[in-house]
Amino acid sequence: MGYIHFIGIGGISMSGIAELMLSKGCRVSGSDAHPSGITERLEELGAKIGYPQKADNIPDDTELVVMTAAIHEDNPELMEARRRGLKIETRADYLGSIMKGYDTPISVAGTHGKTTTTAMISEILMSAGADPTVSIGGVLRDIGGNFRIGADRFFVMEACEYTNSYHSFYPRIGVILNVEADHLDFFKDIDDIRSSFNRFAHNIPDDGVLVINADIEGYDEVVKDLRCRIVTFGKSEGADWHPVSVSYDAFGRPAFEAEHDGKREQFSLGVYGSHNVINSLAAMAVAHELGIGYDAVKKGLADFTGTDRRFEIKGELNGFTIIDDYAHHPTEIRATLETAKKYPHRDLWVIFQSHTYTRTKALMGDFAEALSHADHVICAEIYAARETDTLGISGATLAEEIRKKGIDCYYFPTFEEIKKFVRETLIDNDLLITMGAGDVVKIGDELLSEG
């Protein structure tokens, strides 16, 4: 048996797949830019890893090379694999083929809420003693990371729509949480996005189930021509699963009744916000399809206290509280700020770092409107990610748009300037949220560590 070679094995998703294959007795090799805690663990488990990426990292008896979509054609290992005529698969294609080895693969898709809902389903399955295998886009504390190796019955996977990678997945149960405009550097428009989600849903077999939010705008386009069974959830009473009598505790954690088939059951969540009521309805609908009883569902949802960077309480400094949140789309920002308003505080401050120039320009007005629900906003410089600045905008551009909404807003080009302003300005009982999908989390961590 030859090696499976992973280009960029130290990545959070690739490392989980590599560990899974090691657990199945496969020979695994890989490469990364430099050693890390992740790669050292994989080496302890038997992986052969080379640093940095170079052609001779690929063992002579390699059978398959797995790469992420971020690998460029001039990557030395990819070029070597092509020269040798080796079989090459993307991470998504390989993960999709792995899914087929499980009795019930479950894929959770949507513009936002994927990580949280995948985690909720996983917690419920673990509470039921179902021993799921889990692949998630964030760190779930109860599994100590983003990947859990379980039995061969259930595989719960977060499914990202970017570059249509989730079209490689073939779930028996698919979940669509929401469909909104995002990743417009790849998709042409919202119609293109709806078509993409419809293609994902068509991968569900005829005897499978799509669990979908009935409140999605353009719902009919998303479910067009599907032959699988459809189960709905959402705010409206017309959905198969919907909430009744939602209330919140002093910290904004919801309690509510879920109505299904004319019967109601009481639930309490360990996470914050009304958006998580809807996410939890999706999770309990999946659990119901799997035959899991309400006791395990209640325990799983109550025990789940969130994943890293989802309304994560980081600590307190000089009398004010610091929370970090991954929100990087206007809908997510609104949900986070709605949640924050239920959390005890005096003034609500947000340090926002927009993610990519393309998204910022396309959704500039929506970002400004969403952030206007804070008392004060501090704009950091845009996090470029995979892009270069060819659009002539910056964090200052967004700050100006927010000021037009009548909101107290500041822009600082460096994290050091932001930290200095925060130390000098915030007072007792203020609430500070560092928000965005880039490295803005460092601001809160450094404020707390530096004191």
- Statement to judge: residues 288 and 345 lie in one domain: no
- Give strand ranges (E) for 190-286: 209-213, 229-233, 241-248, 254-260, 263-268
Catalytic residue among 114, 118, 161, 321: 114
- Statement to judge: residues 248 and 344 lie in one domain: no
Catalytic residue among 77, 158, 332, 401: 158
Listed residues 263, 279, 303: the one ending a domain: 303
- The answer to whether position 62 is within a domain reads yes
Listed residues 303, 330, 346: the one ending a domain: 303
Q: What is the CATH number of the domain that holds 233?
A: 3.40.1190.10
Q: Which domain holds residue 144?
A: 100-303
- Statement to judge: residues 134 and 210 lie in one domain: yes
Is the separation of the CB atoms in 325 and 312 below 8 Å? yes
CA 142 to each of CA 39, 203, 212, 306: distance values in angstroms, whole numbers, following the listed order: 21, 30, 26, 10
- Statement to judge: residues 223 and 361 lie in one domain: no
Closest by CA to 303, choosing from 311, 295, 293, is 295
What percent of the chain is predicted at pLDDT more than 90?
79
- Statement to judge: residues 168 and 239 lie in one domain: yes
Would you call 158 a catalytic residue per the annotation? Answer: yes
- Statement to judge: residues 128 and 259 lie in one domain: yes
- The answer to whether position 95 is within a domain reads no
- Statement to judge: residues 256 and 344 lie in one domain: no
- Statement to judge: residues 294 and 319 lie in one domain: no
What does the pLDDT average to over 133-149? 82
Would you call 424 a catalytic residue per the annotation? Answer: no
- The answer to whether position 64 is within a domain reads yes
Q: What is the CATH number of the domain that holds 365?
A: 3.90.190.20
- Cα torsion at 122, 126, 129, 131 (round to 10°)? 60
Is the separation of the CB atoms in 399 and 372 below 8 Å? no
- Statement to judge: residues 79 and 104 lie in one domain: no
Is the separation of the CB atoms in 23 and 149 below 8 Å? yes
| Tens-place pLDDT, residues 383-418 | 998 777 778 899 999 999 999 999 999 999 999 999
Higher pLDDT, 251 or 403: 403
Whether the ω angle into residue 413 lies within 30 degrees of 0, i.e. cis, is: no
- Statement to judge: residues 197 and 264 lie in one domain: yes
What pLDDT does 184 receive?
79
| Tens-place pLDDT, residues 211-229 | 999 999 999 999 999 999 9
Is the separation of the CB atoms in 176 and 230 below 8 Å? no
Numbers of helices and strands, H then E, in the chain: 15, 21
What does the pLDDT average to over 81-108? 95
CA 137 to each of CA 113, 119, 160, 328, 353: distance values in angstroms, whole numbers, following the listed order: 11, 9, 9, 15, 20
- Statement to judge: residues 212 and 268 lie in one domain: yes
Burial class, 93, CB count within 10 angstroms (exposed 0-12 / middle 13-18 / buried 19+): middle
Listed residues 90, 121, 147: the one ending a domain: 90
For tokens 């859990």, what's the residue?
A: 148
Q: What is the CATH number of the domain that holds 34?
A: 3.40.50.720
Would you call 224 a catalytic residue per the annotation? Answer: no
Sorted by sequence, the CB contacts under 8 Å of residue 421 that are 6+ apart come out as 378, 410, 412
Number of domains the chain contains: 3
Catalytic residue among 39, 62, 111, 115: 115
Burial class, 21, CB count within 10 angstroms (exposed 0-12 / middle 13-18 / buried 19+): buried
- The answer to whether position 176 is within a domain reads yes
- The answer to whether position 188 is within a domain reads yes
